[in-house]
Amino acid sequence: MRRLWFGLLLVVSAWPTSVGPIRAAGATRVLRRSSAPLPAYRDGEVIVAFGKASEQGTIERAIRDAGGIAARRAAIGGQYLVKLEPGVSVPDAVAQFRSMREVEYAEPNGIARAMFTPNDPGFPFQWSLSLLNAERMWDIQKGDPSVVVAIVDTGIAYEDFGPFRKAPDWGDATFVTGFNVITGSSHANDDNSHGTFVASVIAEGTDNGLGVAGMAFHCALMPIKVLGADGTGSFFDIAQGVDFATGHGVRVINMSLGGTFASVTLQQSIDRAVGAGIVVVAASGNENGSIDYPAAFSNVIAVGATDFRRQRAPYSNFGPQLSLVAPGGDLSRDDNNDGEPDGILQQTFDEQSAEQGIYGDFAYFFGDGTSFAAPHVSALAALLYQQGIHDPVAIRSAMESTADDLGTPGRDDQYGHGQINPVKALTGLGLNQ
């Protein structure tokens, strides 16, 4: 449902989720990987580099003196892989080699494993995560339950309560007590499907052999219900939701919603949130026009949508307030030629079933919109917080300064500072390599 006016009340919409079913899980194959702890280096092996002037006899004598029984020279570079005698420890051999004048350096033969690849069967269809180099990102930083992200939306399918059901693919996701502004209770259950989809982008159960992955899995989620079953709500209610999150330990607020004019009430609640050290992220809107509010506020990170080609999605709003872009998809295209529409793939429940009061008809859906671009940015903000950057301005700067510049060189109104680059953002300050 789009924005509506009821008298003098501005109604804000969660942009509709156009969806299509994911193919049956049996249609994909999953590579099983070992989860056993990995030793740091190979026992009984060290790498040694000798000075260029070292004679072969000197090299052989040095290898024997340090406990080596065999050696293989690298084809390029000239280093030696030395096999040690049984009983000779790697640290002792490295120390012995390093004490020799003819040795430039010596080190253990470290062990590496292929980057973390979740075993969720739908992960190969999540082109958005591949485009953001999520596997490398996860090797640098994963989420943590100590970082709470508030989803200010239609609620989340996070519990079995009355007619509502918990979505099956949350894995070990942590949910903290939220707020239903509409009913005044703590049961912020989703009766629309939009909020569940948004939350799944951030923290869907990952590497649990089920469904698909979430970008900042293990981060905690706080459901804040400010929009009704029809996907609409008022700025007054949204402001209350933001204030609740501000007072309850949230680090990131995601708002995949928007209206057409500025609200002092909502601006003040956002000011309080940012003043409390919270990163506030909002979707730019889906009318191919000017940036909606609250995204247009200066202290909110306004997020536009790109497609598989990294081009601005045709619906994505743009303008001088745009900060960043992230994958939002385009269901009218299949540029990756996987036989499915180029939407963002996550879990939620069927909207038509929800209209009949059935909230347990869960599946995996492809959706497009800036609603689904924004939580990619919220997820990255949560990972940056976990890594140790706690100031909202610094987190925003880290994302903007490392974004991939798209469109006109430099910041522009179509792409803002560019598309988020999680790997660069998370290594940019040298906190974690």
Q: What are the catalytic residues?
A: 153, 194, 371
Query: What's phi and psi for 238, nearest 5 deg?
Result: -65, -40
* The 3-state secondary structure of 53-104, one letter per residue: CCCHHHHHHHHHHCCEEEEEECCCCCCEEEEECCCCCHHHHHHHHHCCCCEE
158 alpha-carbon distance from chain centroid: 19
3 alpha-carbon distance from chain centroid: 28
Question: Token pair for residue 271?
Answer: 């000011």
Containing 107, the helix (H) or strand (E) segment is strand 103-110
Question: Token pair for residue 199?
Answer: 């939350």
Query: What's phi and psi for 16, nearest 5 deg?
Result: -65, 150
Burial class (CB in 10 A: 0-12, 13-18, 19+), 41: middle
Burial class (CB in 10 A: 0-12, 13-18, 19+), 339: exposed
Do the Cβ atoms of 224 and 205 come closer than 8 Å?
no
Distance CA 157, CA 236 (A): 24
Rg (CA), the chain: 26
Question: Token pair for residue 272?
Answer: 């309080």
Distance CA 244, CA 213 (A): 28
The amino acid that residue 414 corresponds to is Q
Q: Which residue has the tokens 């385009």?
A: 330
Q: If phi over 0 gives left and psi between -120 and 50 gives alpha, with beta otherwise, what is residue 211?
A: left
Q: Which residues contact 329 (CB under 8 A, 6 or more apart)?
A: 128, 305, 307, 308, 313, 341, 342, 343, 344, 366, 367, 368, 369, 372
Distance CA 396, CA 276 (A): 15
